[in-house]
Structure 1
Amino acid sequence: MDTSSLHPTQRFSDRVDNYVKYRPSYPQAIVAYLRETIHLNRKSGIADIGSGTGIFTEILLKHGFTVTGVEPNEAMRQAGENYLSHFHHFTSRDGRAEATGLPDHSIDLVTAAQAFHWMEPAATRKEFFRILKPGGHVLLVWNVRLLDTPFLKAVDDLKRQRGKNYDAIHGSHADEPSIQSFFAPADIRQKSFRHDQIMDYDALLGQMLSSSYMPQEGQPGYEDMIADLGEIFQRYNENGAVHMEYETKLFLGQLPTP
C-alpha cells in the first residue's frame, strides 16, 4: 500500500499521550531470539527506525544494548526522549527511514516496530543497506491484534465501522508479500510470540484513541464510537477488565547488495 497520502510523519501528533500510556509493549523473548539467531550482544550497534515514543526501544535498552532512535514526528520523538532519558546508552535523532542521517556502515541491527508499513520500501531498503555493517540484519516487528474471541472481533468491527482508512492501514501491517519483496532475493526468518494486555475501560478507550485512523473528540463519529465502545466493554468485561490479545510477528533478514 502507498501510504504517502496519509501523512505518516504527522498523523500521530495529536495522539501521543494515549500512545505512551496505552499501546502494548513487546515480548521480552524477542531479545533472547536475537541473541540466539544473530548473536546480538552489547557491542552491537542498533538503530530503531520509527522509534516513536520508545516502546520497542525500551526493551533493547533494558537489556543493555546501545540504541539510536530515529523518528520524524517531533511530538513522538520528544515523548520518547523524555521517557528514555534515564538510559545513558540511548541517543535520539530526527530522521526518516529513507534518510536517517546515520553514518555509512555503522549499524549491526536495524529495527522497525509497528512502523515499516509507513515507509517507502525502495528508498528505505537503499538507506538501510547504506547504514548497515557488512553482515548486518534488519528486524521488522508488529503486534497483530487477534480476532479469535467475541470481544476481539467486536473491537475490530468497531474500528472498521468508525475508523477512517482502517482496512487500508490495518491491512498493510505485517503484509508478508511486501516484506518478502523488501528482502528479496534473500531469505528471511519468521518468528511469532503470543502477547496480551489486561485493560480497564480507560485503557481500552485510550488505546482506541491512539490509533491514527480513529476520530478524536470533536470530530465526526467520535460520540458514536464512544457509545459503541462502552457497549462492548459492558458486554465483555470480567471484573472490570478485558483481555486484548496479539500475535507478535518478527521478520529477520539481511539485505542483498543493491
Structure 2
Amino acid sequence: MEKTGDFTDKADIYAKYRPSYPNEYIDYLFSANQLKGDRLVADIGSGTGIFSLQLLERDLNVIGVEPNDDMRKIAEQSLKLYSRFKSIKATAENTTLKEKSVDLITVAQAFHWFDKKAFQIECQRILKQKANVALVWNSRDLTNPIIKENAEICQKTCSNFKGFSGGIGENPEVFNSFFKDGKYEYKKYQNDLLFDYEGFLGRNLSASYAPKENDEAYKRFVFLLSELFEKYSKNGKIVLQNITRSYLGNV
C-alpha cells in the first residue's frame, strides 16, 4: 500500500467530511454475495471506518485493515461499541489474516493506493472459495462544470494532484487485469452530495493531495475554493454531482 502517510494529520477532517455510500449499493452487496449476519467481511484500507460502519449496521462481522495510525485510531474509537468489529494494523498486500477465512473483501475509496498484483495474490490467499472482491468509489461526475472547475483549482495549487481518486477513473484495463479472466460486474449509483461552505471546504481539504494548513499553497487553495463556492452555491449550499462506482467479482 503506497504512501500511507499522505493522510496523516488529515484523519479528523476525513472522518468528518467524507461521504458514506448509498443504501441501494449496500443492498446490492448483500444480495449479490448472499451476505447474512454470520459472514466475515475484510474491509481493506478501511481508513476512519466510514464503510465499515455501514456494514456493521447490517450486523456483519467486519475486520478493518488499515496501516495509517491516525486513520485507524479514529475508526477504533468511533466503532468501539460494535462487538463485531476488529481492527488490524496491516497493509492490503499483507493483511495478516488467515487463509481462506473471509467471505467478502471490500475496498472503499482505497484500491488506487494498492500494489494491484500483490493485493490480488493476498485476496486469493484469504478469500474462501468463490468469494468476491468489491471495489467501490464515490467519484465526482467529471462532466459537471463545478467538478471541472474544482479539478482545475487542484491542478493549479496541489503539486501531487493526478486526478480525483488517484486518476484511476473508469479505465477498464486496471479492472480487467485484477479480476479473474477480466470478468466483473459494474454498477453505478447517483449519490449527489449537498454541502454548506464548511463541508465543501472540508471535503476538498480531506484529499491526500490537498495542501495542509502550514503549506505554502494552502491559502490560495482555500481562496479559489471559496470563489468557486460563491459562484455556484444557492442559499448557502452547493451540490456536487457524485457517482458511486462499484466493481464486483472473483480474483
TM over 0.5: yes
TM-superposed deviation, 1:250: 0.5
TM-superposed deviation, 1:47: 0.3
1:130 maps onto 2:125 in alignment: yes
Q: How far apart, CA to CA, are the structure 2 residues paired with 1:88 and 1:174?
A: 36
TM-superposed deviation, 1:151: 2.1
Aligned residues: 250
What is the aligned-residue identity percentage? 38
TM-superposed deviation, 1:221: 1.2
| Residue identity matched to 2:213 | E
1:209 maps onto 2:205 in alignment: yes
Q: How far apart, CA to CA, are the structure 2 residues paired with 1:40 and 1:62?
A: 13
| Residue identity matched to 2:49 | G
Equivalent of 2:247 in 244, 247, 251: 251
Equivalent of 1:39 in 24, 34, 39: 34
Deviations 1:116-162 (A, max 9, x none): 11111111111111100111110000111013333222212212221
Out of 72-81 and 222-231, give the one that drifted further: 222-231
1:13 maps onto 2:8 in alignment: yes
TM-superposed deviation, 1:177: 1.2
TM-superposed deviation, 1:186: 4.7
Q: Report the TM-score when normalising by structure 2.
A: 0.95
| Residue identity matched to 2:19 | P
Deviations 1:32-52 (A, max 9, x none): 112222212222110000000
Name the SS of the counterpart of 2:9 in structure 1.
Answer: helix
1:236 maps onto 2:232 in alignment: yes
List alignment gaps of at least 5 residues for structure 1. Answer: none
Name the SS of the counterpart of 1:185 in structure 2.
Answer: helix
Deviations 1:195-241 (A, max 9, x none): 02211111111111111111111212111111111111111110001
Name the SS of the counterpart of 2:43 in structure 1.
Answer: strand
Deviations 1:4-57 (A, max 9, x none): 4xx2x1110111111011011111112211222221222211000000000111
**Contact 2:184 2:248 (C-alpha < 8 Å) held by counterparts:** yes
Deviations 1:147-205 (A, max 9, x none): 33332222122122212221266312554311111114151111111102211111111
Paired position in structure 1 for 2:25: 30
Q: How far apart, CA to CA, are the structure 1 residues paired with 2:205 and 2:85?
A: 28
Name the SS of the counterpart of 2:209 in structure 1.
Answer: coil
Residues 24-103 of structure 1: matches in 2 within 5 Å? Answer: 24-103=19-98
Out of 52-61 and 146-155, give the one that drifted further: 146-155
**Contact 2:90 2:96 (C-alpha < 8 Å) held by counterparts:** yes
Name the SS of the counterpart of 1:11 in structure 2.
Answer: helix
Paired position in structure 1 for 2:149: 154
Q: How far apart, CA to CA, are the structure 1 residues paired with 2:81 and 2:193?
A: 25
Q: How far apart, CA to CA, are the structure 2 residues paired with 1:205 and 1:186?
A: 38
1:118 maps onto 2:142 in alignment: no
Q: How far apart, CA to CA, are the structure 1 residues paired with 2:242 and 2:207?
A: 16
**Contact 2:190 2:243 (C-alpha < 8 Å) held by counterparts:** yes
